[in-house]
Structure formats: structure tokens, C-alpha cells
Amino acid sequence: MTKGLTIERIVDAAFEVLDEVGIDGLTTRAVADRLGVRPPALYWHLKDKRQLVDEMGTRVWRDIAAAAPGPTGPDDAAAPLRWEDAFRGYARATRRGLLAHRDGARLFSGTFLTDTALIERQEPGLAWLATQGFGPEATTDAFTLVTSFAVGYAIEEQERRQAGAARYSTQAREARVDPERFPLVAASGRRMLGTDPEEVFESLLDILLVAVGTMRAR
């Protein structure tokens, strides 16, 4: 075992590699090189690359959970949290957390949460949502819906952002598709490519929360 090497240091180095070369260049060899060790040294702490990615995804989730608003206590009536605020804040925190690193959304998608304590800490929030009319099944479905939206949106947003303006722009699109012959296609393209992605995210989130509201008392 290499002295001083920990999972935390390995994950730190892995994020440095990710931010520099993207997910396709994220290899255990690249991480080992960043740490100044040989690749076998990593396997004292990790079984394989899959576990490394899971540890990275867990850190992203930890940051999301820390940033998302939690329910206020029963003795704090100054600013009681509404269920809409909780889900809205969670969606925003998820998007921000995934956009914080290059290819962060692709990295996070499908990862396994390795920190059991993070799972256990969900209990108070789930109990609070029950008081807002969300039973266990409705809460699970609501979080699945909001998470899928936030992750999927972040993947698309990040891919476009990282590809550069020349690839995804209204000008490039209208050079390919004549806006006079296809005005509806052009209008759709302007909305899709010419509108601030955060503005679109917030607009779609408003619609999504209406659907979440129908799950109460289900």
C-alpha cells in the first residue's frame, strides 16, 4: 500500500482528470499518474474503475444533498418549507451539482451510492414529506421524476455547452434549414438553442411540479 494514499485523495485526483480530459479520458492509469503512483496502488483502495466512478458519483450526491433545502424544524415557524420549495430546491441543486464538473451529468448517471449514511439521512426528509401528503410510493415516484428530469436536462445542457457555440447555435441550424420554408422548425430551434438554458429549466420545472402535486395523498 502506498503511504498516504486514501480513497479521498484518489477521488480528488479523479475529478482533476475528469475536468481536464473528460469522462472518456478518465482511466485508472490517468488517475495513478496524477497521484504519482503506479495503477496497482489504487487497487488497495478500489476494486476497479466502476467503484472509482461510484465513489465520484457519491461525492457529487453528497454535495447535492448538502445544497438542497431541508425541512425546517417544528419550532422554526419563521420560514416553513413548502413541498414545492423542497422539490424545486432539490432539482436546482442537482443541476448545479452535475454541471460543476466536466461530463458530471454523464458520470453521475447510473452510479451506485457507496455511503450508507447518506441513504439513512433521507429518513427525516421522507417523514416530513409524509406530513405534506406524500406517502412512501408517491415520494419515491416524485423523486424519480424530478431526478430523471434534472439529470437528463443536465446531460443535454452539458453536451451542448462543451461542444461549443458553433455546433449548437440558431445560426448554424438556420443555415441548414431555411426558416422561411420551415418557420415552425425555425421557431422551435430558436427556443431550443437560443434561450438561456437556466430559463428553460425553470420553466419546465414549474410544469413538472404541477405533476408532482398530483401525487399527493395517492
Tens digit of each residue's pLDDT (9 = 90 or more) over 143-175: 999 999 999 999 999 998 888 777 788 888 888
pLDDT of amino acid 164: 76
pLDDT-derived band at 209, boundaries 50, 70, 90: very high
CA separation (Å) from 189 to 102, 116, 217? 25, 44, 39
- Lowest pLDDT segment from 71-75, 114-118, 184-188, 193-197: 71-75
pLDDT of amino acid 87: 96
pLDDT of amino acid 13: 98
Q: For residue 110, how many other CB atoms are within 10 A of its CB?
A: 10
Helices (H), the chain: 7-21, 28-35, 49-67, 83-99, 104-108, 116-120, 122-131, 136-163, 170-176, 183-194, 197-213
pLDDT of amino acid 30: 97
Q: Do the beta carbons of residue 122 and residue 139 sit within 8 Å?
A: no
Give me the CATH code for the 72-215 domain, please.
1.10.357.10
Tens digit of each residue's pLDDT (9 = 90 or more) over 113-148: 999 999 999 999 999 999 999 999 999 999 999 999
The rounded distance, in Å, linking the Cα atoms of 59 and 14 is: 12
pLDDT-derived band at 80, boundaries 50, 70, 90: low
The residue that leads in pLDDT, 3 or 11, is 11
- Give the chain's mean pLDDT: 91
Which residues lie closer than 8 Å to 125 by C-beta, 6 or more apart? 70, 71, 86
Tens digit of each residue's pLDDT (9 = 90 or more) over 5-51: 999 999 999 999 999 999 999 999 999 999 999 999 999 999 999 99
What pTM was computed for the model? 0.88
C-alpha cell of 36?
504519482
CA nearest neighbour of 5 among 43, 58, 60: 43
pLDDT of amino acid 161: 86
Average pLDDT over residues 79-99: 92
